[in-house]
Amino acid sequence: MPHTAHIPSHRKPRRRSASAMALRAGVAGGVLSTIAVAGAAGPANADPVTETIEMPTINPEGLAKTFEATAQAQQQVAFDLELQAQEDAAAAKAEKAALKAKTEAVRKAEADKAEAKKRADAQERASRTAERTQLASTSSNSSSNSSASPSKSSNQSSQQASGSVGTVIAFLRAQVGDAYVLGATGPNSWDCSSLVRAAFRQVNIELPRVSQDQSTAGRQVGTSNLQVGDILYWGAAGSAWHTGVYIGDGKYLDAANPSKGVVIQDLSGYPATGAVRVL
């Protein structure tokens, strides 16, 4: 040992520069930061990860079966949809056919009904024509017979009047059931005054066309002394609005209204205002 080893040194400590101190502080800080990060991540002496993740093994045969099953399911869905569409189309077609058949049946029934009514009307017209022809023939024979015996003038006059009334009433009865149509003049539909006028034309008596004038066409007789063939009217004479003909037994025949047509009615149920006599 040197003889001066025990003597403390009187050398002044070396003064470090500020830059060197900053450099050392930065290095120290970086080292400390690294140590802190490593400590947060886990123990410095942890064992390394050695576990191996095994990937699943793909089975080509199983995958093919899965695809096949999926394809079959899709085919079944498509088949079901097609079958449903066919069933819907068949149902719609059947419904359309049923509707068409029903419409045709209704049309045929209406046509048959119209044809039956047409035949019935034709038969009724033929029957009335025959009856009117017979009435005209009877009236003609009565006129011939009355003119053949001029020596019995009073008796013949009475018979001719009776025969004329019978002809009028027979004609009126032949029209029962005809329709009432305002303004109609026959042969199958009438209004009240046209029917009265047509009836008296059968015995060559020409009456006015309308009810107002018919109510003043003959001799006023009132309603308490009626005879068969008297013309009844409703309303005042000269302004009557309805006419008919008295047929005896308290009844009269008229073209009543659109709901009744030509009918025979009881005078007590609808009393007339007055009456005129032309026969």
In the chain, what are the domain boundaries? 153-277
Q: Which residues contact 230 (CB under 8 A, 6 or more apart)?
A: 221, 245, 246, 275, 276, 277
In sequence order, the 6+-apart residues with CB closer than 8 A to the CB of 222 are 274, 275
**What dotted CATH number matches 153-277?**
3.90.1720.10
**253-256 long-range contacts, Cβ below 8 Å, gap at least 24?**
253/169, 253/172, 253/173, 253/176, 254/192, 254/195, 254/196, 255/175, 255/178, 255/180, 255/190, 255/191, 255/192, 255/194, 255/195, 256/180, 256/192
Q: Which pLDDT value is given to residue 144?
A: 47
Average pLDDT over residues 171-185: 97
Q: Quick check: 215 pLDDT over 60?
A: yes
Q: Is the pLDDT of residue 66 over 70?
A: yes
Closest CA to 233 of 262, 273, 279, 182: 273
> DSSP assignment, residue 182?
T
Q: How many residues does the chain have?
A: 279
**Cα–Cα distance measured from residue 260 to residue 180, given in angstroms and rounded to the nearest whole number:** 7
pLDDT of 221 higher than 90 = yes
User: Judging by DSSP bridges, how do beta strands 219-220 and 189-190 pair with one another?
Assistant: unpaired
| DSSP class of 13 | P
pLDDT beyond 60 at 147? no
Closest CA to 194 of 255, 108, 238, 142: 255
* Predicted confidence (pLDDT) at residue 56 exceeds the cutoff of 90: no
Q: Which residues pair with 276 in a beta bridge?
A: 220, 231
pLDDT at 120 over 90: no
Is 109 buried (19+), middle (13-18) or exposed (0-12) by CB count in 10 A? Answer: exposed
Q: How confident is the model at residue 237 (pLDDT cuts 50, 70, 90)?
A: very high
The pTM score is 0.46
